[in-house]
Structures are given as C-alpha cells and as structure tokens.
Structure 1
C-alpha cells in the first residue's frame, strides 16, 4: 500500500486483482493451489511491485509446498507481468517481486500466546478467590485516641 502516492495505491490494488484472477483462470499450475495474494505494494516511482503471498498448506508438508509455490510464481513472473501490463494499460509495467507473507503464520502464534495468557489469568483469578492474608487482615495499627492534657495529670 503506497499511502503517500494515490496512483501507486490504485495500481497496487489493480495488480492484486489481476494476479489473483490470473492465477485462478490463466495459470493452470498445481503448485499454486492454496496460494493467496495478501497485499501488493508499489514503489513511488511505479517501477517495482512487491507482491505478498501466503499459502494454506498441509501440516508437515508446508515448507515443501511453499518452495514449490515460490518456484511456480517466479516461473510465471513474466507472464503475470505481461497480463498486468495489458489490463493496467501502463506505459511501463512494474517489475514483480514475490515475497512470502509471514503475517498469517505469526498471527496463529500470537493467538496461541494469548490463549496461554488467558489460561494463566483464569488460574490466577481462581487462586485469588481462595487466597487469605498471611498475617492480620489489617497490618496497620488502629488509630489511638488522641490524648488531651487531662490524661497526663
């Protein structure tokens, strides 16, 4: 998202739509199954477009599937760039760079951490409900009555 340049933001959104639909309709590569384009960021000079992607993989096979999908995206880079150029109608089509998006996997890790923290909070609350003071309930001395001059006579 190029928030500083509105044209770059529009082109980034267009590139994201074109690549996502092209992967579905034009590229018939089994290695790209489960690949999702999460974001596209275009530089201010419109020369480079970083395409962030993620993949829903199977447990235990995620690393291999990710490498194969990355290879397929890099092989289809030229074709995708030409499709973007045709659809966008730009004089110069940005160079595509595919970057694996770590955010979804990190989000799962954060959710796991928050779940553990909630469980600790619940245990702490249960402990607080049955907790008792170690000493007197009020460890401070009660106020003494004020003495007057008559008390010292």
Structure 2
C-alpha cells in the first residue's frame, strides 16, 4: 500500500504554516512587510527548501528590498524552525517570488476589458 503523502510533502506543509506565523509575528526587519507564503517545496533529502511567497507590493524596488530582507532573515527563520519542528536537520531556505497571483490578476483585467469592449446583445 503506497503512502498518500511523502514525508517531504508533510514537512513542507508544516514549514509553510510555521514560516507564515514567524514572518507575521517574529521577524522585525522593516523590509519584510506583509508576506504571504504560498507554497514550500522540500527536496527529498531535506537539505533545501524553496519558499514561494507573494506580496501586495507592486513596484520592483520594494520587491527587491523584500527579497534582500527575506534572504537576510533566512538564518533566523531556520533557527526558529529548528525549535518548532522535530527535524534532525532543518533545510536551507531559498526564497522565490511567486508571480502567479499577479498573472491571474492581469488575466482577470484583460477578460473584464474584453467583455466590456464586446458588443451587447
């Protein structure tokens, strides 16, 4: 009987919840504002984790500052994860901006514009 979820999937889900809590309440870096952790991918050997995030910030300068702030707090987040999770080794954290929400909003605007421009019956 095969397992429904791999261990890396379960660890990734718990990391997503813990990181969301840590980013909201524990991180004091002013560059890290409102961040939403959308997904976490953990490698099979538990050595690396990609954290996909999104934010309400739209301009490139603030997004770059946010990325720098997240990379700077990665060590703190990793140490806090080691206290909260029962893992022998905590994966190295790699932050990746998730543009899927922005792309979805662009598509919605285009669809709404196309529907507004089409002739009414």
- What band does the TM-score fall into relative to the shorter chain? 0.7 to 0.9
Distance between the aligned counterparts of 2:25 and 2:51, measured in 1? 18
Q: Does 1:103 align with 2:97?
A: no
Q: Which structure's CA Rg is the greater one?
A: 1
Q: How does 1:1-153 map to 2 (within 5 A)?
A: 6-57=6-57, 62-120=59-117, 122-123=118-119, 126=121
> Displacement of 1:13 after TM fit?
1.1
Distance between the aligned counterparts of 1:113 and 1:54, measured in 2? 21
Q: How high is the TM-score relative to the length of structure 2?
A: 0.87
CA RMSD of the aligned region, Å?
1.7
Distance between the aligned counterparts of 2:15 and 2:104, measured in 1? 25
Q: Which runs of 5+ in 1 are unaligned?
A: 127-153
Question: SS of the residue aligned with 1:67?
Answer: helix
Q: How high is the TM-score relative to the length of structure 1?
A: 0.70
Moved over 4 A (4+): none
Q: Which runs of 5+ in 2 are unaligned?
A: none
Q: How many residues align?
A: 118
